[in-house]
Amino acid sequence: MVFSLAAILGVALSLAVEASAKTIRRETYPQGLQWGPCKLNTTLPVQCAKLTVPLDYTNNSDNRTLTLNVIKYPAQKEPKRGSILLNFGGPGQDGLNSMLAYAPLQAPVTGGYHDLISWDPRGTGNTLFNCWPQDPTGYFAGLGSTQASSADTATGKLWAEGEIIAETCYNQLKDIGDYVGMAFTARDMIAIVDALGEDGMLRYWGISGGTTLGSTVAAMFPDRVDKVVLDGVMNAHQYYNMFGEPEMVAATDATWEQFMRGCIAAPQNCALARNHHTFQDLESAMRRLFDTFRNNPPVYNGSLVFELSFLESHVYNALYSPSKWPQLATSLDGLLRGDLEPIVASISEGGAIPSQAQAILGIRCGDKKLRTDKLADLGADLNQYRRTSRWFWDWGWGYYVMPCAQWKFHAKERYNGDFRVKTKNPMLIVGNTYDPVTPLVSARNMSEGFEGSVLLTHNGHGHLTLSQPSNCTNTAIQRYFLEGTLPDPGTVCEPNFPLFDPAA
Ligand SMILES: *[C@@H]1O[C@H](CO)[C@@H](O)[C@H](O)[C@H]1NC(C)=O
Ligand SMILES: *[C@@H]1O[C@H](CO)[C@@H](O)[C@H](O)[C@H]1NC(C)=O
Ligand SMILES: *[C@@H]1O[C@H](CO)[C@@H](O)[C@H](O)[C@H]1NC(C)=O
Ligand SMILES: *[C@@H]1O[C@H](CO)[C@@H](O)[C@H](O)[C@H]1NC(C)=O
Ligand SMILES: *[C@@H]1O[C@H](CO)[C@@H](O)[C@H](O)[C@H]1NC(C)=O
Ligand SMILES: *[C@@H]1O[C@H](CO)[C@@H](O)[C@H](O)[C@H]1NC(C)=O
């Protein structure tokens, strides 16, 4: 048992100082940003710059600084309309490499008249929050990866592993652990806006975890808001105030069901429809498949046990991207026939954006207010997960719920308000009807706090509007950035292509 301050206090509210306005450091950036080539392997016309910001905005006698790496994807059209900042979520996704992947998708949606700007948020890039720089045996990488639904003993194991993760991160990163988090990153954003030397106003498009950052910066700096788009919205109240964030799985079952219904509706493009002709039939086959993986998992290549955790995370991840649904159907069809090759092949395909070590833990866990040394204190939140999703209720428990509850760092500053704010200009908030991780209900929740904001419903599937694009949604975002006009309240946009359409 590890003796800690949190242990003495039980469920304790953060001891982090609530920074009062007079102690906040303010810098000016008369030299602006000096743009030059990026040290990145790309043919995109990007430029890079560095910006020095305070390491600790809340302590005027601490003169240490942090150098932010900033990237620009220049406007393609004239006359330029200023810059739009982008953040790609996680939280913990880097800005520079992610820009290379996202700018070609996001720039056309904005209309092309704005420079797109991103930066490696503190805890990523050159300040990477890496709790185990060496992990030759993969021991640490394996912690927290069991699904709680896989065995009666799994929740206890995940809790113990969460303690190991929290302790290891603390020992490795004592010097920086309190200086990451959304509030300081929001101040870094305002520093970038100031250094850009434009009108001093924030234009921003945040996706996924970038929406919690967007909610935070808008609530902390409402007078700086020119245009802010939140796309794939997280419930920022749950992010700060609960051990877990059960609302994240509010639409996961519905998205999974849409996968099955979409398959039955397009049998020519879905391998699972060969032997299943109704939704009910396919759903029971999937339930049996999950049960088989729990009770009698297959062995691959004489050495690898395909546990339920494996199947569940594979399906969950694929639900993010409808373009991968035909491939998911092929993998699952293989499994029903005892053929593991299709799923092995699709798992070994790497992603375009490098993994961000434990940045998500550094930022998210430090930002959370609650700590405890008793698993029982998480009971209410864990039950809420169980009530929210029948198929994926245990998502994220090992990855952040368990470590965060036992986290030893506290973000030096947190946004402590209630997100009921009137911003200088109204915000545009967009949610997908079937998003497996940032449901529409969270977008509605945040929209109700930001006075004058409009909620646009993207009647599509997957994570973020980009994953099943809609000209209607893209036009709404573009008109907002170019003309400042918001869609009519209640607007619903349809995606360009139906599910399982080969043209998509
Ligand atoms: C740069 O990217 C190209 C194309 O993706 C790749 O073939 C090449 O190996 C990369 N070079 C380096 C130094 O990473
Ligand atoms: C503020 O910074 C000074 C100088 O580094 C340090 O001695 C002091 O402990 C810091 N105070 C807090 C509250 O972190
Ligand atoms: C930072 O503060 C320390 C101690 O307060 C001082 O010795 C040092 O010169 C300062 N550095 C700068 C760059 O101002
Ligand atoms: C299958 O097992 C063999 C021998 O254990 C190993 O060399 C090979 O890499 C494995 N193949 C895959 C795809 O895991
Ligand atoms: C938003 O979500 C929080 C946390 O779940 C909840 O307490 C609050 O009542 C919700 N607000 C609205 C307006 O739905
Ligand atoms: C969407 O916009 C593109 C480009 O303007 C156009 O080619 C395509 O036909 C549009 N699709 C739909 C469904 O409106």
The tokens of 20 are what?
A: 């009062």
User: pLDDT digit string (tens) for 431-480?
Assistant: 999 999 999 999 999 999 999 999 999 999 999 999 999 999 999 999 99
Say whether pLDDT at 346 is over 90: no
Tell me if 43 CB under 6 Å of ligand 4: no
Residue 44 Cα to ligand 1 middle (Å): 13
Tell me if 348 CB under 6 Å of ligand 4: no
Could you give the number of structural domains in the chain?
A: 1
First to last CA, the chain: 53
Provide the domain limits for residue 161. 1-504
Preceding omega of 79 cis (within 30 degrees of 0):
yes
**Which of 369, 441, 445 for a ligand 5 pocket mutation test, highest count of atoms within 8 Å of Cβ?**
445
User: Which H helix or E strand runs over 454?
Assistant: strand 454-461
Give the span between the Cα atoms of 204 and 253, in whole angstroms: 31
Give the span between the Cα atoms of 326 and 501, in whole angstroms: 9
Q: List the residue whose alpha carbon is closest to atom 4 of ligand 2.
A: 62
Over residues 155-182, mean pLDDT: 97
Q: Where are the alpha helices (DSSP H) in 1-75?
A: 5-9
Q: What is the CA radius of gyration of the chain?
A: 23
Q: Please spell the DSSP secondary structure of 292-333, one letter per residue.
A: HHHHS--EETTTEE--HHHHHHHHHHHHT-GGGHHHHHHHHH
Tell me if 61 CB under 6 Å of ligand 2: yes
Give the span between the Cα atoms of 310 and 316, in whole angstroms: 10
Q: List the residue whose alpha carbon is closest to atom 3 of ligand 4.
A: 301
Residue 306 Cα to ligand 4 middle (Å): 14
- Whether 163 contacts 2, CB under 8 Å: yes
**What pLDDT, on a 0 to 100 scale, did the predictor assign at position 352?**
55
Ligand nearest to the CA of 109: 6
**What pLDDT, on a 0 to 100 scale, did the predictor assign at position 351?**
55
For tokens 């799994």, what's the residue? 154
The pLDDT confidence band at residue 6, using thresholds 50, 70 and 90, is very low
Sign of CA dihedral 105, 106, 107, 109: positive
Tell me if 235 CB under 6 Å of ligand 5: yes
Q: Which of 237-241, 248-252, 302-306, 419-423 has the lowest mean pLDDT?
A: 302-306
- Whether 191 contacts 221, CB under 8 Å: no
**What pLDDT, on a 0 to 100 scale, did the predictor assign at position 13?**
31
Tell me if 457 CB under 6 Å of ligand 5: no
Tell me if 303 CB under 6 Å of ligand 4: yes
The pLDDT confidence band at residue 354, using thresholds 50, 70 and 90, is low
**What pLDDT, on a 0 to 100 scale, did the predictor assign at position 3?**
31
Amino acid symbol at 446: M
The pLDDT confidence band at residue 16, using thresholds 50, 70 and 90, is very low
CATH no. for residue 48?
3.40.50.1820
Tell me if 238 CB under 6 Å of ligand 5: yes
Residue 279 exposed, middle or buried by CB count within 10 Å (0-12, 13-18, 19+): middle
Which backbone phi and psi does 90 adopt, to 5 degrees? 115, -85
Ligand 6 closest atom vs CA 496: 13
Say whether pLDDT at 9 is over 80: no
The tokens of 215 are what?
A: 């909610």
Tell me if 175 CB under 6 Å of ligand 2: no
Ligand 4 closest atom vs CA 302: 2
Give the span between the Cα atoms of 501 and 504, in whole angstroms: 6
